[in-house]
Structure 1
Amino acid sequence: MISIEEYKQNPCEALSIPYWKATDIIIPDNVKIIHNKNFDETLLEKYSDKQYFRLIHRLNCIPDFSNNDFTYKMLSKEKTNEVADMINASYSHTDVFVSADYIKGLTETKVYFPELWIGAFDNNKLVGSIICDLDTKIGEGVIEWLQVLPDYRGKGIAPVLVCKALNILKLNADFVTVSGECDNITNPERVYRKCGFTGNDIWHILTKH
């Protein structure tokens, strides 16, 4: 395991996941996680490949997005069922599924920071949300989940959620990281770059055939 200082120099190239997760994770024997700089096409003979981008925000320039059509407020722990339902509806085009117990579990981790759970509401309907972690030991903010219901996409909700979280993190962290599937049809990378995230790090999650 690399040191904290080594990680902080270039987080997105150093590890495929946030430091706090890397200290606990156990990688299965049939899985390899390789940075693009070390990737070799011959690996595809034995492994299937999923590619993930990893980006960083240094919190020195946060765009000012506004959207007066919706209300944005902190999500309480009592909203775990609603958040789980909304995530699942937002990812209906994939095999992603989260339970209410999983969402509740996120509130019980050492990186839970209530102000970084933000919902977008159309009247009283939850139509989008962002869930972020804060690792105070590293000074790292992490965007874990960002989603908007399909019928509400294209209305500017996602960048508002991201930048609201970034403005909170600016007061509590040194940098923020995020990762996501490269081939996601909703193209979340575009939203993050619009909000000031940078980098070109790609990680390959290789699973043995």
Structure 2
Amino acid sequence: MPRRKAAVIAAPRDTSSDEVALRALYHKDPLRILPNALWKTVARLQSLECRFIDDAGSVTGVELREPGKLLIYGTRTQDPLKAASVKLDGVPTVYIHNDFVAPLAPWFDRKEAFFRLVHTGSELPLRATVPGYTIRQVDTTTELPLVATILHACYDTSTPGTNEIAMWTKRPVFAPRAWLWIIDRKEKRPIALGIAETDRLTGEGSLEWIQVLPAFRSLGLGTMLVQELVYRLEQKVAFTTVVGQMKNPCEPEHLFRRCGFAGRDVWWVLHR
């Protein structure tokens, strides 16, 4: 029988220079440069083509492209005509700041808007408390199935399962003190969940999940969670970011602004 040819595995591409440049750019204006916390983009740089945008000798933006899959376009400039020159090359998904969405939107069928806010820790709110409820840290060695159950109960769509959630605890940004329950003292069970990540290299915290069971909403428990997370993150990071859907009946943007988050940046995800 003929021998099979050995599979050739490409060596990992050196993305260190791209990462350094991206970090420097992100620190100048995090809400305009990327649609998400920096660590999420750094984690996938191996699969992204990275082109930095030069304006009069200064790096002002970045174009990140995964051929045939997606494009991320972020820049500090505010000239909407800049985006008109972006080559789509048939990508089905584009992430782009609100200032530049107009020239590209007609080419896409579905459009979703997301707010992006930041908390600098300069004015920490009072830590809210709600009678009958207390905060406890999640035991990530035994309670991940319960985390999955709470997330599933808060959404009509599919949510991460236990195995996927377990992978979150293996990431470099995993912060066990930023996985929190709110416990109903009477029923002695978790009824709300907050999860945040800590990117110490960037100095950025990111709120990932703030979920309250439907029967316990409008009691102030979301505020209680967010404020506690901000306090815990403030000890480790320079700033904390959060992303959320603009069209959400729970109005999460109002919640975060009440807790000291600020910003006016909106990102669009365009699909076709």
TM-score between the two structures when normalised by the length of structure 1 = 0.93
Q: For the residues of structure 2 that align with 1:31 and 1:46, how far apart are their CA atoms?
A: 9
- Pairs within 5 Å for 1:1-209: 2-25=21-44, 26=47, 27=66, 28=69, 29-40=91-102, 43-64=105-126, 65-77=128-140, 78-92=142-156, 95-123=157-185, 124-208=188-272
Q: In the TM superposition, what is the alpha-carbon distance from 1:137 to its structure 2 partner?
A: 0.2
Deviating more after overlay: 57-66 vs 130-139: 57-66
Q: For residue 3 of structure 1, give the secondary structure of its aligned residue in structure 2.
A: helix
Could you say which structure has the larger radius of gyration? 2
Gaps in structure 2 of 5+ consecutive residues: 1-17, 48-65, 70-90
Q: For the residues of structure 1 that align with 2:137 and 2:250, how far apart are their CA atoms?
A: 24
Q: For the residues of structure 1 that align with 2:24 and 2:242, how far apart are their CA atoms?
A: 19
Say how many residue pairs are matched: 206
Gaps in structure 1 of 5+ consecutive residues: none
* Deviation by residue 1:32-62 (Cα, 9 ceiling, x = unmatched): 1110011116623433111111100001112
Q: For the residues of structure 2 that align with 1:10 and 1:167, how far apart are their CA atoms?
A: 23
**Higher RCO (CA 8 Å, separation ≥ 6 residues):** 1
Identity of aligned residues (%): 27
Q: For the residues of structure 1 that align with 2:103 and 2:155, how far apart are their CA atoms?
A: 30
Tell me the C-alpha RMSD between the 2 structures: 1.4
> Runs (4+) of structure 1 moved beyond 6 Å?
none
TM-score between the two structures when normalised by the length of structure 2 = 0.72
